[in-house]
Amino acid sequence: MIQSDKGADPPDKKDMKLSTATNPQNGLSQILRLVLQELSLFYSRDVNGVCLLYDLLHSPWLRALLKIYDCLQEFKEKKLVPATPHAQVLSCEALLSAHDTIAQKDFEPLLPPLPDNIPESEEAMRIVCLVKNQQPLGATIKRHEMTGDILVARVIHGGLAERSGLLYAGDKLVEVNGVSVEGLDPEQVIHILGMSRGTIMFKVVPVSDPPVNSQKMVYVRAMTEYWPQEDPDIPCMDAGLPFQKGDILQIVDQNDALWWQARKISDPATCAGLVPSNHLLKRKQREFWWSQPYQPHTCLKSTLSISMEEEDDMKIDEKCVEADEETFESEELSEDKEEFVGYGQKFFIAGFRRSMRLCRRKSHLSPLHASVCCTGGCYSAVGAPYEEVVRYQRRPSDKYRLIVLMGPSGVGVNELRRQLIEFNPSHFQSAVPHTTRTKKSYEMNGREYHYVSKETFESLIYSHRMLEYGEYKGHLYGTSVDAVQTVLVEGKICVMDLEPQDIQVVRTHELKPYVIFIKPSNMRCMKQSRKNAKIITDYYVDMKFKDEDLQEMENLAQRMETQFGQFFDHVIVNDSLHDACAQLLSAIQKAQEEPQWVPATWISSDTET
Ligand SMILES: Nc1ncnc2c1ncn2[C@@H]1O[C@H](COP(=O)(O)OP(=O)(O)OP(=O)(O)O)[C@@H](O)[C@H]1O
């Protein structure tokens, strides 16, 4: 304890030396020495508290501490050198030799030698303990048809069993939690497993050649949907992976010819699930197709172009009858009058002929057209169920990807396209369509249309150079690949609208289309947002949308999504025009600048050329 002692001797000079004996550069000792000197002047005068402070600073423990401090300081300033010149080499060698001694040591338990009289049929067993948590074990079992053995049928990628690295497809199950599975049905074994809590112990006879998955990862786009709950053939319903049209799947295992293992890229953390192989799904599609009542050309094209064409005719008549006074005042659109919507703008925009889409839908389907279109329309019924895809990032030197807009008539495809081009005409452009009708006095070849003969037009169709076309009032109209290429070669983004059944024609490595589906929002919102919008038909302009028109638009949008949803890269709901435009701009930018999934054939074709 440190105490103040008024009767203590006055400070003597020897003590001071102790402090000065320390390194003169040592600031701490120097300060202490000066403080003590100062205090000593007041010591004899017994100024309040001075004795206490003096004794404190003069105490032996403080001086001892200072001594230690000084020694350390001295030691710090000395440069340390190894005891021997080869100390570093020696220490390295010592470390390596320690490592070798430990590494050579056999840590396996010493087992007694095997007895000589083991029967040859005796099988090696493996005991596997898995701790069951919330997730499934990730393995399926089956009974061997001949022997009745219970075997591990497959181990699901990313599941508990696979992560343990101890269970393989083909392993024979002998016991589960000490219960022999001999003679049991797989369902009974599943029941035992279901009742188990915590750690589950399997006794298995390991398969002689554990399967090795050497296949490369493949990514596919699902061209159809699949619901394991509705598939009586799936080996294990719980292990099934449901998917919808357009989902991108990572195929992680194709060892089984019938059932692959896959994961959705939108959900990479989950363990894989069972999906039918390409071959099996194709067979299922075919069986389903044949089981349906006969419908000549079930594709959307036929319903739109033949039956809907007639429906549309009727509806237009009805609309004429039901139209209110305001509508009756609208003028009939003569062929010569403002045929091009493009003329009303600040500058001329090609490819915006009034009712261009309507004319395509209402056109009488020529036999030529019917024969070509059906391949695309019927494709989804029995086409490839999976399409291999790869990530594609457009390089700055590459041409822009073609932007395709599609949606039910009246949803606003043309409005959005027009707004986009008006927003930046030097960046976005439409392709100039072809026609077989004669040029009018105010038109220019290559501006409104490319005016060609019927023979030329038909040869373009037969050589697959027409992306879409239709017949209207005896004339052919359409957009060619070359017209689109002209825009792309100029370094601009070509934006075109297309009927869904023509989609296969544009899906080429040459154009690498990015398809945006424009969708109506719900009826309530549509009624509100289309309050002042006008339907443009080839009979009347300025006719308001009626509830039936909006309902028809919604129904058609649903049919398009059901039948062609797998081809849509992006979906925009056109409720507020301003928001839809903003979304369109951002989607187009992403399509051109960010990596996207595209058919693998588009990229391999690139390398070939
Ligand atoms: N979000 C919207 N809000 C209000 N009106 C809209 C909206 N989108 C489009 N419209 C209007 O709806 C009408 C039909 O649009 P548009 O002509 O673009 O349809 P479309 O999809 O091209 O169909 P079609 O090819 O049959 O003409 C136009 O008058 C357009 O201005």
DSSP letter string, 434-496: EESSPPPTT--BTTTBEE--HHHHHHHHHTT-EEEEEEETTEEEEEEHHHHHHHHHTT-EEEE
Report residue 77 as tokens: 């300033």
Ligand 1, atom 23: closest residue by C-alpha:
410
Which pLDDT does position 309 carry in this prediction? 39
How confident is the prediction for the chain on average, in pLDDT? 79
pLDDT of 330 higher than 70:
no
Q: Is 287 exposed, middle or buried (0-12, 13-18, 19+ CB in 10 A)?
A: exposed
Ligand 1: which of 319, 353, 355, 415 to mutate, judged by most atoms within 8 Å of the beta carbon?
415
Q: Are 406 and 500 within 8 A, CB to CB?
A: yes
* 514-519: strand order across its sheet: 428-429, 493-497, 403-406, 514-519, 570-573
Ligand 1, atom 11: closest residue by C-alpha:
533
Residues with CB under 6 A from ligand 1: 357-358, 407, 409-415, 529-530, 533-534, 536, 574, 577, 580
pLDDT of 334 higher than 60:
no
Say how many Å lie between the CA of residue 569 and the centre of ligand 1.
21
In tens, the pLDDT along 483-511 reads: 999 999 999 999 999 999 899 999 999 99
Ligand 1, atom 1: closest residue by C-alpha:
577
Higher pLDDT, 578 or 7: 578
Say how many Å lie between the CA of residue 148 and the centre of ligand 1.
66
pLDDT of 8 higher than 80:
no
Q: What is the DSSP letter of 410?
A: T
Closest CA to 126 of 203, 207, 209: 203
Ligand 1, atom 16: closest residue by C-alpha:
412
Ligand 1: which of 315, 414, 531 to mutate, judged by most atoms within 8 Å of the beta carbon?
414
Which pLDDT does position 458 carry in this prediction? 96
Which pLDDT does position 539 carry in this prediction? 56
Closest CA to 33 of 46, 42, 24, 44: 24
Higher pLDDT, 607 or 491: 491
Q: What is the largest CA-CA distance in the chain?
A: 130
Say how many Å lie between the CA of residue 411 and the centre of ligand 1.
5
Q: Is 330 exposed, middle or buried (0-12, 13-18, 19+ CB in 10 A)?
A: middle
Which pLDDT does position 428 carry in this prediction? 97
In degrees, to the nearest 5, what angle opens at C-alpha 376 toward C-alphas 373 and 379? Answer: 140
* CA dihedral sign of residues 170, 176, 180, 183: negative
In tens, the pLDDT along 462-486 reads: 999 999 998 888 999 999 999 999 9
Distance from the first to the final alpha carbon of the chain: 94
Which pLDDT does position 93 carry in this prediction? 87
ipTM above 0.95, yes or no: yes
Which pLDDT does position 482 carry in this prediction? 96
Which pLDDT does position 540 carry in this prediction? 55
Give the ligand 1 atom nearest the CA of 355: 27
Higher pLDDT, 312 or 224: 224
Q: How far apart are CA 530 and CA 545, in angstroms?
A: 7
Which pLDDT does position 452 carry in this prediction? 97
Which pLDDT does position 296 carry in this prediction? 53
In tens, the pLDDT along 305-328 reads: 333 333 333 333 333 223 333 333
Region 202-219: what's the mean pLDDT?
82
Say how many Å lie between the CA of residue 345 and the centre of ligand 1.
16
Q: Which domains does the chain have, with CATH numbers?
A: 13-74 (no CATH), 126-205 (2.30.42.10), 218-291 (2.30.30.40), 300-380+397-608 (3.40.50.300)
Q: How confident is the model at residue 298 (pLDDT cuts 50, 70, 90)?
A: very low
Give the ligand 1 atom nearest the CA of 576: 1
Ligand 1, atom 26: closest residue by C-alpha:
409
Q: Are 142 and 125 within 8 A, CB to CB?
A: no
Q: Are 482 and 536 within 8 A, CB to CB?
A: no
Angle at which helix 60-77 crosses helix 50-58, to 10 degrees, equals: 50
pLDDT of 348 higher than 80:
no
Which pLDDT does position 219 carry in this prediction? 96
Residue with tokens 């003169």: 24
Higher pLDDT, 124 or 609: 124
According to DSSP, the residues that pair with 340 across neighbouring strands are 353
Say how many Å lie between the CA of residue 530 and the centre of ligand 1.
9
In tens, the pLDDT along 535-574 reads: 766 555 667 888 998 999 999 999 999 999 999 999 999 9
Q: What's phi and psi for 314, nearest 5 deg?
A: -65, -40
Report residue 236 as tokens: 């294990």
pLDDT of 593 higher than 60:
yes
Region 79-83: what's the mean pLDDT?
70
With a pLDDT cut of 70, the percent of the chain lying above it is 76
Ligand 1, atom 10: closest residue by C-alpha:
412
pLDDT of 252 higher than 80:
yes
Q: How far apart are CA 577 and CA 521, in angstroms?
A: 12
Ligand 1: which of 536, 554, 581 to mutate, judged by most atoms within 8 Å of the beta carbon?
536
User: What's the residue count for the chain?
Assistant: 609
Q: Are 290 and 173 within 8 A, CB to CB?
A: no
Helix, coil or strand: residue 180: strand
Which pLDDT does position 353 carry in this prediction? 52
pLDDT of 158 higher than 70:
yes
* CB contact set of 128 (below 8 Å; sequence gap of 6+): 164, 166, 167, 201, 202, 203, 204
pLDDT of 19 higher than 70:
no
Region 377-391: what's the mean pLDDT?
73
Burial readout 13-37 (b: 16 or more C-beta within 10 A, e: otherwise): eeebeebeebeeebeebeebbeebe
Which pLDDT does position 137 carry in this prediction? 84
Closest CA to 322 of 547, 566, 69, 55: 547
Give the ligand 1 atom nearest the CA of 536: 27
CA 304 to chain centre: 33
Higher pLDDT, 298 or 274: 274
Helix, coil or strand: residue 412: coil
Q: How far apart are CA 569 and CA 596, in angstroms?
A: 9
* CB contact set of 424 (below 8 Å; sequence gap of 6+): none
Q: Are 154 and 227 within 8 A, CB to CB?
A: no
Q: Are 95 and 87 within 8 A, CB to CB?
A: no
Q: Are 161 and 148 within 8 A, CB to CB?
A: no
The pTM of the whole model exceeds 0.80: no
Q: How confident is the model at residue 287 (pLDDT cuts 50, 70, 90)?
A: confident
